[in-house]
A and B are shown apart, each in its own frame.
Chain A
C-alpha cells in the first residue's frame, strides 16, 4: 500500500498519511536502502527477556541504534554480551513499525575482546576432535559399579578436591582415592594437566578417573578447552568423569569424557555407589540364601527358615527405621550355618568317600565312617544291629 501512495499527495491535510502508512513506507525505504551489514560498536542497556530474545543498544561516541537479537539466533552464542563490550554485529537494518523505531535485527554477534577469539579457537578445536570421532557418543564407556581405585586429576588445594574426598568418604569409603595434583589454571597449566594425565595412564588397577575443578571465570576454565588436554582425556585407559566449573560451563574436556558431571561433588557421586544401598543388597542376598537352603533341606531347614524369617523381619524393621547400618547381619547368618547346628549337638555322618549317611541301611555292620561334630571329626564304626 505504502509503495503505491503518491508521495506528493500529502502536501495538504486532505491527503494525510496514516501512521501505519508512514512507518511501513519508512521500513521499506530502510530495508531497500540498507542491506544486511556488519556494524561495530559498544553494547549498552543489555536485557535478556523471558522470551529468550535479547534487547540492547549499540552505540559509539555520537550515536546509538536499538538492536534485537531473537532467540533463534542468539541461542548459538555461548553467553550473552555484557554492557560495555565492543562487538561486531551482522544485522539487518529495519523499522519496527509498532514503535516507529529504527533498529537492527541482529543475526550474529562477535566480541572483539579475548572471548570472541577464544570462541573461535574453541570451535576450531571442537571441529578437529569431532573429525577424529572423539565426540562420538558410541565411544562413551560405562562406569564400574564398585570402584576400588579412583584417580582424581585436579588442584591439590582446591574446593573441588575437598568435595570429592568428602562425598567419597561418605558414600563409598571402600575406594582408595589417588590424587594426581596439577595446577588447573594459568600459564602452563595445560602442560601440567597433560603430564598428570600421562602419569595416570601408568597407575595400575584404576577403575575410574575424575578430572575437574570448581567454578571460575571463562578465562580460568580455559585450560580445559585446549585441544591437547581434551585429546589426553580421550586417550585415558579407564572411564573418566569430567566436572569443570558449574553446570553452565561446558568445556571440550567435558565433551570427550565418558560422563559429564555438573560439579566435582556430582562427579564423586556418579563414580561411587552408596554403601548403604550395597549393604541392603547384601542383606537381601543373605535372605535369599537362607530361603534357598530352606527349600532344599527338610525339617531342620524349616526351623532354620522360621528363625531366619524372624531374623530378617527384625533386620527389615531396623532398615526402615534407620537405613544406615546393617551391622552384624553376616554374623547372624553365620549362626544359621550347618556348623552352628552342629554346635547345638547335631552330628553329620559321612562315609570314607564323604557321602552323607542318612539311613539305617547305609550303616552296614562294622562300617567305618566319620562323624562331623561341632569342633571336628571323629572316626566311628557301626556296631552290631
Chain B
C-alpha cells in the first residue's frame, strides 16, 4: 500500500460518535458514583466538542490521484 498524505484514521468519526453514545448510555443507565459520573461527563463533553469541531471546521477538499511514470501514486490539489 502506498502512503498518501492525509493521515486521518478511517471511521474515527463514527467511533467517536459510538463512544459518545456509550458514555450517554452509561450515564443514563447505571448507578455510578459522582466521581465516575463527572469523569464520564467530562470525556463526553470533550468528545462532543471534538466531533463538532470536525464537522464545522472542515472545508470540502478535492484532490486528484495520478500515477507517475514509475507507477507511484501522486496526490495533488484538483482545480477543476
B-contacting residues of A (Cβ < 8 Å)?
Answer: 144-146, 148-149, 151, 156-157, 161-162, 165, 168-169, 173-181, 195, 199-200, 202-207, 275, 278-279, 281-282, 285-286, 288-293, 295-298, 326-327, 329-331, 333-334, 336-339, 355-356
Contact A293 B49, beta carbon cutoff 8 Å: no
A199 is contacted by which of B3, B23, B26, B67 (Cβ under 8 Å)?
Answer: B67
Contact B59 A165, beta carbon cutoff 8 Å: no
Contacts of A338 in B (CB 8 A): 38, 41-42
Contact B45 A205, beta carbon cutoff 8 Å: no
Q: Does B69 contact A (CB under 8 A)?
A: no
Give the docked Cα–Cα distance between A232 and B35 (Å): 55
Contact A199 B54, beta carbon cutoff 8 Å: no
Contacts of A333 in B (CB 8 A): 45, 48-49
Contacts of A295 in B (CB 8 A): 27-28
Contacts of A174 in B (CB 8 A): 13, 54-55, 58
Contacts of A205 in B (CB 8 A): 4, 6, 8-10
Give the docked Cα–Cα distance between A333 and B40 (Å): 14
Beta-carbon nearest neighbor of A297 in chain B: B34
Contact B24 A203, beta carbon cutoff 8 Å: no
Contacts of B56 in A (CB 8 A): 279, 327
Give the docked Cα–Cα distance between A330 and B45 (Å): 7
Contact B63 A176, beta carbon cutoff 8 Å: yes
Contact B52 A204, beta carbon cutoff 8 Å: no
Beta-carbon nearest neighbor of B62 in chain A: A177
Residue of A175, A202, A204, A293 with highest tally of chain B CB at under 10 A? A293
Beta-carbon nearest neighbor of B43 in chain A: A289
A-B contact count (CB 8 A): 165
- 15 further A-B contacts with Cβ under 8 Å, apart from A148-B11, A207-B10, are A151-B65, A165-B62, A179-B64, A203-B4, A204-B4, A207-B11, A282-B17, A288-B28, A289-B20, A289-B24, A289-B48, A293-B27, A297-B38, A327-B56, A356-B34
Contact A180 B24, beta carbon cutoff 8 Å: no
- Give residues of chain B (33-80) contacting chain A, Cβ–Cβ below 8 Å: 34-35, 37-38, 40-42, 44-45, 48-49, 51-56, 58-67, 73, 75, 78, 80
Interface residues on B, range: 35 or more
Give the docked Cα–Cα distance between A96 and B2 (Å): 70
Contacts of A175 in B (CB 8 A): 58, 60
Contacts of B58 in A (CB 8 A): 173-175
A156 is contacted by which of B34, B61, B80 (Cβ under 8 Å)?
Answer: B80
B32 is contacted by which of A180, A282, A296 (Cβ under 8 Å)?
Answer: A296
Give the docked Cα–Cα distance between A186 and B37 (Å): 64
Contact B80 A161, beta carbon cutoff 8 Å: yes
Beta-carbon nearest neighbor of B61 in chain A: A176
Contacts of A293 in B (CB 8 A): 27, 37-38, 40-41
Give the docked Cα–Cα distance between A173 and B60 (Å): 4
Give the docked Cα–Cα distance between A295 and B49 (Å): 22
Contact A279 B55, beta carbon cutoff 8 Å: yes
Contacts of B3 in A (CB 8 A): 204
Contact A330 B48, beta carbon cutoff 8 Å: yes
Report A76 CB to chain B, min CB distance, Å. 41
Give the docked Cα–Cα distance between A292 and B30 (Å): 10
Contact B37 A282, beta carbon cutoff 8 Å: no
Contact A149 B8, beta carbon cutoff 8 Å: yes
Give the docked Cα–Cα distance between A181 and B10 (Å): 23
Give the docked Cα–Cα distance between A291 and B45 (Å): 13
User: Taking A337-B45, A338-B41 as contacts, is the C-beta distance between A177 and B63 under 8 angstroms?
Assistant: yes
Contact B55 A334, beta carbon cutoff 8 Å: no
Give the docked Cα–Cα distance between A67 and B64 (Å): 53
Contacts of B27 in A (CB 8 A): 288-289, 292-293, 295-296
User: Taking A149-B8, A161-B80, A292-B28 as contacts, is the C-beta distance between A178 and B38 under 8 angstroms?
Assistant: no
